[in-house]
Amino acid sequence: MPTSRNPTTGLLLGLLVTCSAVATYSFYTTRQISGLREMQRDLGDRNRQDSLQLLRLQNDLNAVGLAMRDMLDAGGPYPLTAWAAQIDRIRTDFADALKREEAVAVARPTPEQRQYLGNSTAQFWDAVDRMFALAAAGHEDEAREQIRISLQARQAALTGAVARLLVENNASEEQTAARVQEIYSRVQRQVYWFLTATLVAIAITSLSLIRNNRRLFARLESLSAQRRELVQKLIAARESTLHHIARELHDEFGQILTAMGSMLRRAGTQAPDGSPLRSELREINELAQSTLNSVRSLSQALHPAILDEAGLDSTIEWYLPTVEKQVGLSISYERSGTGSTVNGTASIHVYRVLQEALNNVTRHAEADRAWVRLRHGDGVLELEVEDHGRGFQAAEGRGLGLVAMRERADLLGGTIEFLTPAGGGTLVRLRIPSESLKAEV
């Protein structure tokens, strides 16, 4: 099978590019919005200050207009020079307001507009000075005439110029708002484009991940099927080999040893009574018989013939007393329920699980008693082997015997659990569906 390219590098690269793009654009957007807010705040403050100074100029001009109206009243109790101090204060405030307005103006007037405003202001205050000079010289009528003819017209012109500046300032404020809105719209469009690109990148990465995961899971499923097939073949080969060896031991070696025993007995009867040869032949015969018993026991351990002849239940009833005699373990056996006959392949798997579970009890559990329960239920066969020894150790879960037990349960389409009962120790529970007990596995 060819080695497929590892997708981790590509996925990590895609993730890195996506994260970098998100971080970069987030920084860019944050800077844009921060700069936009700062510009909006600065322009708003300047527009407000500019409007305040223009209103201040307008108020000063209105105050001058009111003063000139009072000065035109010839029947007043005060001479025209009495308004000189008030006019000087207004003049000083007007000059200060005009200077501040030039510093904070957002909508810069053209040089012609600035020159016109400067000239109009200078001419207006020159005319005011000349009017007060005439009044101081005793020519109040001529001074009032100057107010009517020149000063009021100049004051109206200045008021109109300041009003135009106010209008321009309002227009500039509207332009600023429109500009800010345009920038907001541009940033919003960029965010939408970036989100779209990010979603596309995430979708591509996700589709690639899904594709690679599907390929990986398909490969794992294929490997699992191959492993299952290999394990099934290995277990079948092992059982076939053990069955063959057991049959050879029982048939070939058993017959040979049986024949040797018969020949030795006949030879012993022909030897004279009290002869040393007759005694030696008897010892050899006993040795042959002992070897025959050992061979038969080994044959039954490798593959009990009773399993093929009498079935699973009878085999368990024969096997448990044998274990008790061999290892000195007290076993309580309980069988319940009735079920269909277990086929040969399934019965050998169940028997091997029982055999391995009892081997673990004798080797590792440090227990002198065990409980075996076989239940034929509705649609399931359940085998339990319980002991109250030192318990199941995690390190033992990787042993070859336990792995083989799991594989046998899997081959039968069943489940096997390694539990801890209430009294401590270990409980091995095998559950096999009835369908697997009938079909050849």
Q: Label residue 79 exposed, middle or buried (CB < 10 Å: 0-12, 13-18, 19+).
A: middle
CB 347 within 8 A of CB 308: no
User: Is 90 exceeded by the pLDDT of residue 89?
Assistant: yes
- Can you tell me the mean pLDDT for 68-81? 78
* Secondary structure class of 408 (helix, strand, coil): helix
Chain-centroid distance of CA 392 in Å reads: 35
Strand order in the sheet with 415-419: 330-336, 369-377, 380-387, 426-433, 415-419
CB 17 within 8 A of CB 205: no
Q: Please give the Cα distance from 387 to 365 (Å, whole number).
A: 7
- β-strand 380-387 against 415-419: which pairing, if any? unpaired
User: Is 70 exceeded by the pLDDT of residue 398?
Assistant: no
Least confident among 102-116, 186-200, 202-216, 392-406: 392-406
**Alpha helices, H only, 361-419:** 400-411
Q: What secondary structure letter does DSSP report for 195? A: H
**Sign (positive or negative) of CA dihedral 353, 359, 363, 366:** positive
Q: Please give the Cα distance from 58 to 53 (Å, whole number).
A: 9
pLDDT tens-digit profile of 5-19? 566 676 677 677 777
- Which domains occur in the chain, in start order? 8-209 (1.20.1420), 304-438 (3.30.565.10)
Chain-centroid distance of CA 111 in Å reads: 65
**% the chain with pLDDT above 90:** 5
| Among 239, 375, 379, 242, CA closest to 313 | 375
pLDDT tens-digit profile of 255-291? 777 777 777 777 777 767 767 777 777 778 778 777 8
Beta strands in 243-368 (DSSP E): 330-336
Q: What is the pLDDT of residue 373?
A: 92
- Can you tell me the mean pLDDT for 174-187? 78
- Can you tell me the mean pLDDT for 215-233? 80
Least confident among 159-163, 295-299, 305-309: 295-299
Q: What is the pLDDT of residue 144?
A: 86
Q: Which residues contact 121 (CB under 8 A, 6 or more apart)?
A: 94, 98, 158
Token pair for 189: 């469009």
pLDDT category of residue 2 using cuts at 50, 70 and 90:
very low
pLDDT tens-digit profile of 348-368? 888 889 888 888 888 888 888
Q: Who wins on pLDDT, 81 or 340?
A: 81
